[in-house]
Amino acid sequence: MQKFINTIRWHLPYKLFGFIKKHWIKADKPCERFVLFVRHRLLGTLWPAETIFCPDSRFIQPKAFLSDLSVAVIIPCHNYAHFLPEAIESVLNQTFKPTEILIVDDDSDDNTAEIASTFSDRGVRYIKCNHRNLAKARNEGAENTSSAFLLFLDADDILPSHYIKRCLKQMQDPSVAIVYGNMKHFENERFIWRTSEFKLDRIERTNFISSHALIRRKAFDMVDGYKTIPDSIAEDWDFYRRVLRLRWKAKKARTYVKYRVHDKSMTNTSTRRRYMDDASLKIQPLTIFTIFSGDHKKLDSYIHQLKTVNINKDHSRIIFVDTSGDKSFETRLKDELSKLKSKKTTYTRLYTIKKSSRKLNELRAISVLINSCDTELIFMVGEDTTYESDIAEKLFEKMDSNVSAVLSDNNINLCLLRLSALKNVHPGEDILEQLKRRGHVKKLDITRHKSQATKK
């Protein structure tokens, strides 16, 4: 009898909801917000909603969408024992309680272990490591937890009580891997950094996601966590870009983190603050792009230079566009391309429309580049251009967040270019003139560099 009652109470309502939903969708979802309100708010307490995605989150709770809401808060700590209690208390006071809280003591010589032990009866775990490296300490924390979501909290920072709950609410979209908020500076500085809404091309230029973002573990594991980057303190920015290039999304939540600014803050103690270091340009994926006209002598010189240039070949892509229409040159170019060390190579053959249509062929080749390129940075080099082996680093040094292109000797045939800028170029106008007109171009005087090197 009880089984029959349970069947009527649970099975029949869901059958009815399914029937209504099917016809509601066929009718192009009329009165969508009202229907969602009735289904989730009024009827959801008796018959919880099935796991579906809804774009409007105001009428629903996170539990309607996520089967696993486990959150691990990982607090790396190196000689920050005096800040640690505030950080731990802010996690324990969350309105949505984390499943795991782990202190990762990275070779501290203060009383970090003693402070952590005072919270052991409240579910706070402690491990010790000897990396003296924030990226490795974070990764070790992830390896020692099993929750579906990860949150890395620096030991000198504080979370408001609603932080985890509001971040989890944005994770209802299964395509979202990173949720972040604003940053409220306190102690030596007092202001709120209101971060921007997420845009992929913007995160490639500058980092506006703090290191305290809530991260989906599946995405974390896909990129193998954080990487140690020489001369940079922006391991989190590198991590976010690697995740988001896999077509995951980031989303901003209506919350903030309290970021403590003090004399020993990492941002204050870092000596080198060049953009190329913070953006880790040397290890970012880079596409080498060249248009070939069919000259065999130029190809010999080109291949020799390309093999000696200081570029991270393991992360580079190569796109060659052949406009020669010469079968023998095509065969040779493909053979040379196959010998080059690169993560990905692309060969495209473009037949010339007219013998005198060089500009038109260049525009067609640029269209190939835009459609084939999967990296933000492009090293554009002409087939007859000469350059030194350190040209890439010199171009990197000139790059900045607001710069779309760095031209050597005002020459687009040897430049570092952003794909996001190239996509905004009109095909009917000269590319170089358009970039200059927008004012986001820097110039590298190669002639001056060569003369200085000769004097030395």
Position 451 pLDDT exceeds 60: no
Task: Give CA–CA dist 157/376, Å, rounded.
Answer: 32
pLDDT in tens, 277-299: 889 999 999 999 999 989 999 99
Report the pLDDT value the prediction gives residue 19, as an integer from 0 to 100.
77
Closest among 282, 306, 316 to 382, alpha carbons compared: 306
Task: Give CA–CA dist 135/235, Å, rounded.
Answer: 7
| Higher-confidence position of 125 and 450 | 125
371: its two tokens: 């459609």
* Alpha carbon of residue 373 to chain centroid: 17
Position 136 pLDDT exceeds 70: yes
Position 111 pLDDT exceeds 70: yes
Task: Give CA–CA dist 367/422, Å, rounded.
Answer: 10
Phi and psi dihedrals of 178, rounded to 5? Answer: -135, 130
Task: Give CA–CA dist 269/263, Å, rounded.
Answer: 7
Report the pLDDT value the prediction gives residue 52, as an integer from 0 to 100.
35
203-221 burial string, b = 16+ CB within 10 Å, else e?
bbbebbbbbbbbbbbebbe
Report the pLDDT value the prediction gives residue 395, as an integer from 0 to 100.
94
Average pLDDT over residues 18-42: 71
Report the pLDDT value the prediction gives residue 295, as an integer from 0 to 100.
92
- Rounded to two decimals, the pTM is 0.79
198: its two tokens: 């997420």
Q: In the chain, what are the helix, strand and coil shares in percent, each to the nearest 5?
A: 40, 20, 40
Annotate 149-203 with DSSP letters as a single string: EEEE--TT-B--TTHHHHHHHHTTSTTEEEEEEEEEEEES--EEE-PPPP-HHHH
Closest among 421, 369, 418, 383 to 398, alpha carbons compared: 418
Amino acid at 99: T
28: its two tokens: 């192009």
**369 close to 422: Cβ distance less than 8 angstroms:** yes
Amino acid at 150: L
* Alpha carbon of residue 161 to chain centroid: 27
Phi and psi dihedrals of 163, rounded to 5? Answer: -60, -55
349: its two tokens: 């053959």
Q: Residue 320: is it exposed, middle or buried by C-beta count within 10 angstroms (0-12/13-18/19+)?
A: buried
**152 close to 101: Cβ distance less than 8 angstroms:** no
Average pLDDT over residues 307-320: 90
Position 31 pLDDT exceeds 80: no
Position 394 pLDDT exceeds 50: yes
**103 close to 180: Cβ distance less than 8 angstroms:** no
Domains of the chain: 71-278 (3.90.550.10), 285-455 (3.90.550.10)
Task: Give CA–CA dist 365/90, Å, rounded.
Answer: 55
Q: What is the largest CA-CA distance in the chain?
A: 98
Report the pLDDT value the prediction gives residue 79, as an integer from 0 to 100.
93
164: its two tokens: 């985890």
| Average pLDDT of the chain, as a whole number | 85
The alpha carbons of the chain give a radius of gyration, in whole angstroms, of 27
Report the pLDDT value the prediction gives residue 22, as an integer from 0 to 100.
72
Q: Which has the minimum average pLDDT: 72-86, 177-191, 293-307, 423-437?
A: 423-437
**124-129 vs 405-408, strand pairing mode:** unpaired
Percent of the chain with pLDDT over 90: 59
Report the pLDDT value the prediction gives residue 190, as an integer from 0 to 100.
76
Report the pLDDT value the prediction gives residue 325, as an integer from 0 to 100.
86
Report the pLDDT value the prediction gives residue 448, as an integer from 0 to 100.
47
